[in-house]
């Protein structure tokens, strides 16, 4: 009898774990299904032209001469801000992670980790506010730009937002390198720095790449902060000091006031689908790279 | 404290939310038995609420569309009543360091319109005192705001299009505060949104002299970019609602309009 109950328990536990395991997959597909269900009629009815959407930069959803839904400028805007963010965040976070896991005295480490967690908990609207009220005048003052709401501002804000994630995940990856590696390197006469640079970083590269990519995902998907910090202007940027508009900010700004089921509403859901495809592509390329990098 | 006997639900236009709030507060002193609940959300939100019967008075900074009116009447079996409760003069804001003091409607069109040729401040007959780069930084609103639509219709014409690359902000307040920190910027918002640190331009229409946005100039029509503020309700509404509307149109209610920075009706 007791054995019978044990078996049932076992089964239940298995089922529970199994369900939680596949729930992530179910959610991803449910989201994809929902976004496409809302967006698809726009394409099917011909209201949104796919070619125009992908290859034109003309985003005029309420034009009296006929709405146009070209998203190329928005895609370029998203990527320009993200690239700047990663160029700042990745080296900064790797350095921080190395310091935390290899060089920092234990007392420092604990304090710094708590501080980094606090940084990760700041809501995105607050970051947007910092972009608008603090960074905007600073950028105008130091670069002489006409307006401080631009690619640079958005990039810095996104870098600050994704740095905590990249740092703590990179630290985990470095911590996961067995101590025997460190001991072996030190025994061969390598300095602590040489050990970190030549042994730890190459060994942990898979985890580090994963950390950077999760940070990238955060940056591409962020909306409120970039809406406030980038100037929200549909255009191809010529440099760091030009305003841009991102895919996410467009959805955030326009979905609230577009009538449910209207052409504009459908087009915004198609922008959402586009965003999903972009993040899937990034993850796919990333996992290929990570796998190709290990033997 | 007397007991609240009736609730009036008032929602809609973000442009009007300041004055709607002020009305509600003032009315609480006049008639404590009626409580007025105010919320924003945009003109379209207020109308949707009126159609669905969850809003008694819908504030609207544009005229209700024929299709919207038809849906409201069909669903509620009552006619829709339109009330003009005041006007909003749209002011053009620039930074105080900008030497420009007046601009014509035609110049605004060449500045904001697609294919327009005015891109630099020096093209407006002023010398720009802040260095070589005098490019105009255009600030606009998100494309589904009522203010955006009104500005387009009155400056660029019904079929006009905005120039690409304007900064499209999400609120009247945001426009004004960005201009306060941006020397080369120009933007539009209701005149009630003026703050310390911005300058409003006088507007010139045709051959007549330039006019500053004031209550008087908007009332006598010499200031050209001013629009009515509508409140929509249903026929056969409860007495508490119609009494409130009447009070809004009375001298006491119109005094609130002036105090909130909008243009009261001509008495």
Each residue's pLDDT tens digit, B15-33 = 888 899 999 999 999 998 9
The mean pLDDT value for B149-173 works out to 89
User: In sequence order, which residues have a C-beta less than 8 Å from that of residue B142 and are 6 or more positions away?
Assistant: A253, A254, A257, B148, B168, B169, B170
pLDDT at position B59, please? Answer: 92
Q: Which two tokens stand for residue B150?
A: 């009104």
H helices present in chain A, as ranges? 2-44, 50-55, 72-98, 106-120, 124-129, 136-143, 151-175, 179-187, 192-194, 201-203, 205-221, 224-229, 247-254, 263-292
B159 touches chain A (CB under 8 A): yes
Q: Facing residues of B35 across strands?
A: B7
Q: B178 and A149 in contact by Cβ < 8 A?
A: yes
pLDDT at position B111, please? Answer: 95
pLDDT at residue A58 above 60? Answer: yes
CA distance B182 to chain A (A): 6
> Are A188 and A114 a contacting pair, CB within 8 Å?
no
More confident residue, A2 or A26: A26
The mean pLDDT value for A170-189 works out to 92
Q: A58 and B167 in contact by Cβ < 8 A?
A: no
CA dihedral for B144, B150, B156, B159, sign (positive or negative): positive
pLDDT above 90 covers a percentage of chain A that reads 61
Token pair 């500005």 in the structure block, residue: B151
Q: Which of A60, A146, A257 sits opposite B161 (nearest CB)?
A: A60
pTM: 0.83
> Are B42 and B55 a contacting pair, CB within 8 Å?
no
pLDDT at position A230, please? Answer: 93
More confident residue, A31 or A259: A31
B149 touches chain A (CB under 8 A): yes
- Phi–psi pair at A90, nearest 5 degrees: -65, -55
pLDDT at position A290, please? Answer: 66
CA distance B164 to chain A (A): 7
The mean pLDDT value for A39-52 works out to 90
Please tell me whether residue B13 adopts helix, strand or coil conformation. Answer: coil
The mean pLDDT value for B60-83 works out to 89
User: In sequence order, which residues have a C-beta less than 8 Å from that of residue A71 and are 6 or more positions away?
Assistant: A53, A54, A56, A57, A59, A247, A271, A274
What are the tens digits of pLDDT across the range B179-219?
999 999 999 999 988 999 999 999 998 888 999 999 999 99
Average pLDDT of chain A, as a whole number: 90
Distance of CA B256 to the CA centre of its chain: 16
User: In sequence order, which residues have a C-beta less than 8 Å from that of residue A173 and are 6 or more positions away?
Assistant: A97, A204, A206, A207, A208, A210, A211
**Which residue is closest to B179 within chain A, CA to CA?**
A147
Q: Which two tokens stand for residue B60?
A: 């609207």
Please tell me whether residue B137 adopts helix, strand or coil conformation. Answer: strand
A261 touches chain B (CB under 8 A): no
Q: Which of A60, A140, A232 sits opposite B167 (nearest CB)?
A: A232
pLDDT at position A294, please? Answer: 45
Which of B152, B168, B197 should we substitute to test contact with A (largest number of A Cβ atoms within 10 Å)? B168
Q: Which two tokens stand for residue B261?
A: 């920075």
pLDDT at position B140, please? Answer: 94
The pLDDT confidence band at residue B3, using thresholds 50, 70 and 90, is low
- Residue B62 CA to residue A159 CA, distance in Å, equals 41
Token pair 């009626």 in the structure block, residue: B34
Q: B181 and A137 in contact by Cβ < 8 A?
A: yes
pLDDT at position B102, please? Answer: 94
Q: What are the chain B neighbours of A64 within 8 Å (beta carbons)?
A: 152, 158-161
pLDDT at position B1, please? Answer: 45
Q: A65 and B183 in contact by Cβ < 8 A?
A: no
Please tell me whether residue B181 adopts helix, strand or coil conformation. Answer: coil
- Residue A214 CA to residue A218 CA, distance in Å, equals 6
ipTM over 0.85: no
pLDDT at position A293, please? Answer: 47
- Residue A203 CA to residue B259 CA, distance in Å, equals 69
Angle at B175 between CA B85 and CA B94, to 5 degrees: 100
- Residue A275 CA to residue A279 CA, distance in Å, equals 6
Q: Which two tokens stand for residue A253?
A: 């700004």
What are the tens digits of pLDDT across the range A130-167?
999 999 999 999 988 888 999 999 999 999 999 999 99
> Are A147 and A99 a contacting pair, CB within 8 Å?
no
Chain pair A-B, CB pairs under 8 angstroms = 70
- Residue B263 CA to residue A98 CA, distance in Å, equals 63
Q: Which two tokens stand for residue A161?
A: 């937002």
Please tell me whether residue B159 adopts helix, strand or coil conformation. Answer: coil
Q: Facing residues of A63 across strands?
A: none
pLDDT at position B180, please? Answer: 93
The mean pLDDT value for B211-232 works out to 92
The mean pLDDT value for A287-291 works out to 70
- Residue B166 CA to residue B157 CA, distance in Å, equals 18
Angle between helices A2-44 and A263-292 (to 10 degrees): 120
> Are A239 and A144 a contacting pair, CB within 8 Å?
no
Angle between helices B239-249 and B251-259 (to 10 degrees): 60
Length of chain A: 295
Average pLDDT of chain B, as a whole number: 90
> Are A72 and A52 a contacting pair, CB within 8 Å?
no
CA distance A256 to chain B (A): 9
Please tell me whether residue B192 adopts helix, strand or coil conformation. Answer: helix
């Amino acid at each position: 009898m007791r054995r019978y109950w044990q078996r049932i328990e076992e089964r239940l536990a298995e089922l529970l774990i199994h369900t939680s395991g596949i729930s992530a997959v179910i959610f991803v597909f449910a989201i994809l299904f929902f976004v496409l269900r809302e967006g698809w009629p726009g394409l099917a009815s011909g209201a949104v032209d796919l070619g125009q959407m992908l290859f034109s930069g003309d985003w005029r959803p309420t034009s009296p001469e006929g709405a146009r839904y070209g998203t190329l400028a928005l895609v370029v805007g998203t990527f320009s801000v993200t690239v700047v963010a990663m160029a700042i965040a990745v080296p900064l976070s790797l350095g921080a992670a190395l310091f935390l896991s290899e060089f920092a005295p234990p007392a420092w480490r604990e304090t710094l980790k708590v501080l980094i967690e606090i940084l990760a908990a700041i809501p995105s609207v607050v970051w947007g506010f910092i972009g608008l009220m603090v960074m905007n005048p600073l950028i105008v003052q130091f670069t002489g730009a006409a307006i401080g709401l631009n690619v640079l501002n958005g990039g810095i804000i996104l870098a600050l937002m994704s740095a905590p994630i990249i740092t703590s995940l990179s630290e985990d990856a470095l911590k996961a390198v067995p101590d025997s590696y460190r001991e072996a390197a030190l025994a061969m006469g390598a300095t602590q720095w040489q050990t970190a640079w030549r042994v730890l970083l190459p060994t942990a590269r898979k985890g580090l790449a994963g950390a950077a990519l999760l940070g990238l995902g955060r940056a591409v998907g962020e909306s409120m902060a970039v809406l406030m910090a980038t100037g929200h202007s549909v255009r191809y940027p010529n440099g760091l000091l030009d305003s841009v508009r991102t895919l996410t900010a467009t959805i955030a700004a326009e979905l609230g006031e577009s009538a449910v089921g209207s052409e504009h509403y459908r087009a915004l859901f198609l922008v959402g689908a586009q965003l999903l495809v972009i993040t899937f592509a990034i993850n796919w390329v990333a996992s290929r790279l990570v796998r190709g990098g290990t033997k | 404290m007397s007991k609240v006997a009736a609730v009036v639900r008032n929602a809609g236009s973000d442009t009007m939310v300041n004055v709607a709030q002020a009305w509600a507060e003032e009315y609480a002193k006049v008639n404590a038995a009626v409580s007025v609940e105010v919320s924003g959300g945009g003109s379209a939100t207020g109308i949707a609420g009126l159609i669905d019967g969850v809003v008694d008075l819908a504030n609207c900074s544009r005229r209700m569309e024929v299709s919207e009116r038809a849906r409201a009447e069909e669903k509620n079996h009552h006619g829709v009543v339109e009330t003009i409760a005041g006007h909003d003069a749209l002011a053009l804001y620039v930074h105080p360091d900008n030497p420009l003091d007046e601009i014509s409607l035609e110049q605004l069109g060449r500045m904001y319109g697609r294919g327009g040729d005015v891109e630099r401040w020096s093209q407006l007959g002023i010398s720009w005192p802040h260095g070589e780069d005098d490019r105009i930084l255009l600030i606009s609103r998100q494309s589904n705001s009522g203010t955006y639509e009104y500005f387009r219709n009155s400056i660029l014409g019904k079929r006009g299009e905005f120039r690409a690359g304007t900064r499209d902000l999400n609120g009247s307040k945001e426009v004004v505060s960005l201009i306060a920190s941006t020397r080369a910027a120009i933007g539009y918002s209701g005149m009630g949104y003026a703050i310390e640190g911005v300058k409003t331009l006088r507007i010139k229409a045709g051959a007549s002299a330039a006019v500053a946005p004031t209550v008087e100039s908007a009332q006598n029509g010499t200031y050209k970019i001013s629009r009515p503020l509508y409140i929509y309700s249903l026929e056969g509404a409860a007495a508490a609602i119609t009494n409130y509307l009447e009070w809004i149109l009375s001298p006491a209610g119109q005094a609130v309009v002036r105090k909130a920075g909008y243009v009261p009706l001509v008495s």
